[in-house]
Amino acid sequence: MILTRQYFLRLLFIFAASAVLAVPCQAQVTPAAGYTPPDDTPAIRLGATIFADYTVQTKPKVTDVDGNEISLSQFNVQRAYLNVTGQINHIIQFRVTPDIARETTTGSALLGSYTYRLKYAYAQFNLDDWMARGSWARFGMQQTPWVDFMETVYRYRFQGTIFEDREGFLSSSDFGGTFRYNFPGNYGDVHTGFYNGDNYNRIELSDQKAFMIRGTFRPLRQNSLLRGLRLTGFYDHDAYVRDAERRRGIFAVTFEHPHVNAAFDYLWATDQLRSAAPEVDARGWSAWVTPRQRGDNTGFEGLLRFDRLEPNTDTDAVRSRFIGGVAYWFPHQGTVTTVLLLNMEQVTNDDFLPARPDERRFSLHMLVNF
């Protein structure tokens, strides 16, 4: 009886200890108060983006079919996107964006017609479960690191592309595989990857690939006035063919505030079209500011922008661009955006050989996005 009673007491002690130890284990797997599980519901969303304008070109003058010298004027739809976005689950997302643009190739049977082509078509793999929120990997036809970043600060692509895109040094989209890491605490991010390098509207004709990387740092994140200040560096290393390099480097300072956005960026570029051809170095910069009436991204907003480019530092040729205008951003609901912009754009081309005419345009632009 004594052995049996001791054996029983030992079993009772072991059982009680196991029950006590099991309590914290159960607490660890119980969701915390307020926890929201990730949404794994498959979804698909449709949207559209429309760029339209009425433009009068006062420089250079053109000649009509009857020989009259005129200032060309036209209503135009520059671009129309159809955006198809969605998710398979909270990890896998996708985007498909057909781009409807005017055919401008001389000699094309479709000259002046609107043609259908792809602008974006990619899958995105969200890495929030393993890395800082906002980190992801993408594969397919997608945004390039520099243009995509700058256009989140500069809201006027519907007037015209940013400096490096407009001058032909970079494109907004290309085929490739990329990775973005978002630093915790909103201190910045790094976006890097490999692309074809010949842009979304051309096919790849060589074995050379473009390596692009952009790093952005927010140095004063905790300062209430200057937390919108960011420093950004970008580098693109590519080649037209083997031993014929194409390089771009950019340094930028951007500032975002409820009542003003502003930026300055400086470009270095080197192009060598063939291995036996000389290298051509280009330098340029762009500065712009957009003061606004209200702090909620609606109401009246000004636009002042200056670009300057030396397309070949071994010559005296310089192109300068000034854009000035005033926009009205309509009050909106949800993701709908509607804007009207009245602006003037002037381009001067100094010491080009052969000579290039100066340009001046007055435009009323409209953006509708939903």
DSSP string, 235-289: EEEEEEETTEEEEEEEEEEEEEETTEEEEEEEEEEEE-SSTTSPPEEEEEEEEEE
Q: Quick check: is 126 in a domain?
A: yes
Residues of the chain with pLDDT under 70: 1-35, 107-110
Q: Quick check: is 22 in a domain?
A: no
**pLDDT on residue 342:** 98
Number of independent structural domains in the chain: 1
Q: Quick check: is 32 in a domain?
A: no
Q: Quick check: is 96 in a domain?
A: yes
Reported as a single tens digit per residue, the pLDDT across 215-230 is 999 999 889 889 999 9
Amino acid at 142: Q
**pLDDT on residue 209:** 94
CA gap 262, 176 in Å, rounded: 30
What the block records as the tokens of 221 is 């994140």
Number of neighbouring beta carbons within 10 Å of residue 235: 18
Q: Quick check: is 16 in a domain?
A: no
**pLDDT on residue 34:** 62
Q: Which residues constitute the domain of residue 357?
A: 46-369
Distance of CA 57 to the CA centre of its chain: 29
Spell out the residues 6+ positions from residue 81 whose beta carbon is closer than 8 angstroms to its own: 48, 49, 50, 97, 98, 99, 100, 119
Q: Quick check: is 120 in a domain?
A: yes
Residue 143: burial class (beta carbons within 10 Å; 0-12, 13-18, 19+) = buried
Q: Quick check: is 10 in a domain?
A: no
**pLDDT on residue 17:** 41
**pLDDT on residue 180:** 98
Q: Quick check: is 222 in a domain?
A: yes
CA gap 271, 167 in Å, rounded: 13
CA gap 346, 339 in Å, rounded: 22
Spell out the residues 6+ positions from residue 131 whose beta carbon is closer than 8 angstroms to its own: 181, 182
CATH number for 250 = 2.40.160.10
Reported as a single tens digit per residue, the pLDDT across 88-100 is 999 999 999 998 8
**pLDDT on residue 228:** 95
